[in-house]
Amino acid sequence: MPQASDAYTGTFELEFERPLLALERQISELEAQADPNQSAVGLDPKLDFTADLKKLRQSHTAMLKKIYKGLGAWNTVQVSRHPNRPQTVDYINAFVKNFTELHGDRFYGDDPAIIAGFGRIGPHKCCIIGHHKGKNVKEKIACHFGCAHPEGYRKALRVMKLAEKFGLPVVTLVDTPGAYPGIGSEERGQAEAIAVNLREMSRLKVPIVSVVIGEGGSGGAIGIGVADRLAMLQYSWYSVISPEGCAAILWKIANPENNAKAADAMKVRAQDNLKLGTIDDVIPEPMGSAYRYRQQMYDTLEKYIIERLRELKRFKKPENLVAKRYQRLRKLGQISG
Amino acid sequence: MAKTTADPKPAPPLTGDRRRTWKDVKDPSESPRPGVPEGLWQKCPTCEATTYRKQVEDNLSVCTECDHHYRVGADTRVSQLVDPGSFEPLWDNLSPMDPLKFVDRITYKERYEKAQKQTGHNDALLAGKAFIKGRGVVIAIMNTDFMMASMGSVVGEKITRAIELATDLDRPMIILCAGGGARMQEATLAVSQMIKTSAALARHGDAGGLYISVLTDPTTGGTAASFAMLGDVILAEHKAMIGFTGARVIANTVRQELPEGFQTAEFLLEKGFVDRVVHRKDLRSEIAIIIDYAGK
């Protein structure tokens, strides 16, 4: 499994966070000034930065709160794609003990865009499956930025079947812009691979907990996202198509303005999906989203998964669990008449 | 999604309560075949032969010269496929909602109301009980005349109910699949229909039920990636376009030329994802034979 590298050190900035980042730079400069070990000109004992720092920090917190409180749909999509946002590997390294990755679909190959294996979360032995977007350029290209091929979905299913055989619950972490659109993926049956996963996950005899941790792009997302409990992190998105794709089709051209309109129209945010009844829970993120306070995010997610698995383990008979899951899936959709 | 270039305006629904007018065959906003007069004659998009419209329609909307299969709406499908008078439509009252209040250039409500007016149906699927060569089936037919047979909550719900009915009645389930996939205007609700229908098929399969999926032009996106590809037996119409992602998107992504015949029924047959490619005139007998072997 690719090792989670340290926090992203690049200079990526979200447009709407610019004033915030400027403030952060001011704070760190002032902190450096105040630190006798770092100050270039030496510390002048007469100067006291504490009051200024406190003021700056306060306004930083206020601004952070203000920006994130009313975060629009398109900005949410941008946050969900932030290069420093924790990915499946980060969560696995953070709270899955003894993760043992399993490779290959036994038919064609091994798709690095999906990670699957045994592991222990809290007291629960389980199988963990998740999309892998890649941490650096090389990895990102190898796993097509998290767009899985049919062999990825078939590997996921193989591991789920193992979980079923050995009575282990399944935890899936969804983070993909969509299934890979390519010649090979069509030739090897992208549609069939996803369809079979939907059918088999709906009748898997062990509990399934799914969490959208970043992007939940259509068929590529639900290919590992049929579950007893489906949750989304607060600043992730889940919809039928990416906002860019929707804009290109309905507005004929994908530009930032149309993308924002499309994201708004499709109600891609977690709280909107909760209202539509397509997900069960929204998992709150730390103030200023997961990439700012990663450890806090890991802890919240770990706690959520442990809690849900404990609830679902109450089903002693697998038939009851599957029947309950069908009831949940059966309710999806809104119609009149 | 494929362009609708070739497609002549298919025949209006045979509801019987109105006469066919020029409005039904003429849509001024789309002029797919410039230079060819609308109505009596049509030009085949494959062989370019000019054929008499009525003659082609009598030939199950298959070109008399080159066997090009025209797209046909659900009403025509019913008349072509099931025993005359045996179709018993169900759940026709179900109608879309617009929980997202979706607006692009026009509102979703305007879009589906226009389609409802044009087709005389509430949404893009006909479902019901029927007989095919005397064999009782539950059948669902996607209607390409209605918003290109995209799948929203109503389509998903009707398919699910149809499958559940087939399970209860112990009858084979037949779905004529078509469409561009999940309906964008219903966003996540539409994606969820892929899950719901697949889950219903899992139960149908567990109960020992037969499911025959017939792929017609075009079957793509969310439709392909759910019930369309889950048939116990998968039939596909000659030259139908079948795939997950649209060819244009793939070409843009991989930046290379797509192979000859990419994503046609024959291509899928070669790659092993379709059991049989059938001519439209053989569809009834093919289904009947499979039911005799596998149905109950």
Query: Do A25 and A90 have their domain in common?
Result: no
Kindly state whether residue A7 falls inside one of the protein's structural domains: no
User: Above 50 in pLDDT, residue B2?
Assistant: no
Kindly state whether residue A5 falls inside one of the protein's structural domains: no
Query: Do A64 and A153 have their domain in common?
Result: no
Kindly state whether residue A136 falls inside one of the protein's structural domains: yes
Kindly state whether residue A3 falls inside one of the protein's structural domains: no
pLDDT at A48: 75
Residue of A nearest to B222 (CA): A219
Domain boundary among A50, A70, A90: A70
Q: Residue A8's pLDDT band (boundaries 50, 70, 90)?
A: low
A172 CA to chain B: closest CA distance, Å? 16
Query: Do A20 and A123 have their domain in common?
Result: no
Tell me the C-alpha distance between A129 and A102, whole Å: 10
Q: Residue A231's pLDDT band (boundaries 50, 70, 90)?
A: very high
Tell me the C-alpha distance between A129 and A152, whole Å: 10
Query: Do A45 and A107 have their domain in common?
Result: no
Convert A87-98 to b/e letters by CB count within 10 Å (16 or more is b). bbbbbbebbbee
- List beta partners, residue B43: B50
- Put simply, the answer to whether B245 touches A186 (Cβ < 8 Å) is yes
Tell me the C-alpha distance between A72 and A74, whole Å: 6
Q: Work out the percent of chain B whose per-residue pLDDT is above 70.
A: 87
pLDDT tens-place string over residues B175-230: 999 998 999 999 999 999 999 999 999 999 999 999 999 999 999 999 999 999 99
Q: Looking at residue A219, which CATH number applies to its domain?
A: 3.90.226.10
Which of A:278-317 have CB within 8 Å of B?
Answer: 278
pLDDT at A40: 61
Query: Do A56 and A109 have their domain in common?
Result: no
Query: Do A112 and A62 have their domain in common?
Result: no
User: Above 70 in pLDDT, residue A299?
Assistant: yes
User: By C-alpha distance, which of B214, B218, B76 is closest to B137?
Assistant: B214
Tell me the C-alpha distance between A62 and A67, whole Å: 9
CA B157 to each of CA A33, A82, A327, A332, B66: distance values in angstroms, whole numbers, following the listed order: 65, 37, 13, 9, 38
Query: Do A22 and A143 have their domain in common?
Result: no
Kindly state whether residue A281 falls inside one of the protein's structural domains: yes
At residue A212's C-alpha, the angle toward residues A150 and B154, to 5°, is 75
B49 CA to chain A: closest CA distance, Å? 32
Tell me the C-alpha distance between A335 and B112, whole Å: 13
- Domain total for chain A? 2
B112: left (phi over 0), alpha (psi -120 to 50) or beta: alpha
Q: Residue A42's pLDDT band (boundaries 50, 70, 90)?
A: low
User: Above 70 in pLDDT, residue A38?
Assistant: no
Domain around A115? 77-331
Query: Do A91 and A139 have their domain in common?
Result: yes
pLDDT at B233: 97
Spell out the residues 6+ positions from residue B267 whose beta carbon is closer than 8 angstroms to its own.
B259, B261
Would you call A269 helix, strand, or coil by DSSP? strand
Q: Residue A34's pLDDT band (boundaries 50, 70, 90)?
A: confident
- List beta partners, residue B165: none
Q: What is the dihedral of CA B224, B230, B234, B236, to 10 degrees?
A: -10
Residue of A nearest to B104 (CA): A250
Task: Give chain B's domains with CATH numbers.
Answer: 22-58 (no CATH), 74-293 (3.90.226.10)
Q: What is the mean pLDDT of residues B102-108?
A: 90
Question: DSSP letter at A16?
Answer: G
Q: Work out the percent of chain A whose per-residue pLDDT is above 90.
A: 75
Query: Do A59 and A164 have their domain in common?
Result: no
Helix H segments across A114-228? 137-142, 150-165, 183-187, 190-202, 218-222
Q: What is the mean pLDDT of residues A122-129?
A: 97
A258 CA to chain B: closest CA distance, Å? 10
Query: Do A193 and A50 have their domain in common?
Result: no
Kindly state whether residue A107 falls inside one of the protein's structural domains: yes
pLDDT at A10: 63
pLDDT at B32: 54
pLDDT tens-place string over residues A184-201: 999 999 999 999 999 999
Query: Do A57 and A165 have their domain in common?
Result: no
A296 versus A3: the higher-pLDDT residue is: A296
Domain boundary among A70, A104, A119: A70
Q: Work out the percent of chain B whose per-residue pLDDT is above 90.
A: 71
Residue of B nearest to A337 (CA): B94
Q: What is the dihedral of CA A309, A332, A225, A107, to 10 degrees?
A: 120
pLDDT tens-place string over residues A139-194: 999 999 999 999 999 999 999 999 999 999 999 999 999 999 999 999 999 999 99
Query: Do A57 and A84 have their domain in common?
Result: no
Kindly state whether residue A336 falls inside one of the protein's structural domains: no
Domain boundary among A31, A53, A70: A70
Kindly state whether residue A4 falls inside one of the protein's structural domains: no
Looking only at Cα atoms, what is the longest distance across chain A? 77
Q: Work out the percent of chain A whose per-residue pLDDT is above 70.
A: 93
Secondary structure (DSSP) of A204-267: -SS-EEEEEEEEEEHHHHHTT---SEEEEETT-EEESS-HHHHHHHHSSS--HHHHHHHHHHHT
Tell me the C-alpha distance between B52 and B8, whole Å: 12
Helix H segments across A35-149? 50-69, 73-80, 88-95, 137-142
Q: Are strands A124-131 and A170-176 parallel, antiparallel or unpaired?
A: parallel
pLDDT tens-place string over residues B135-151: 999 999 999 999 999 99
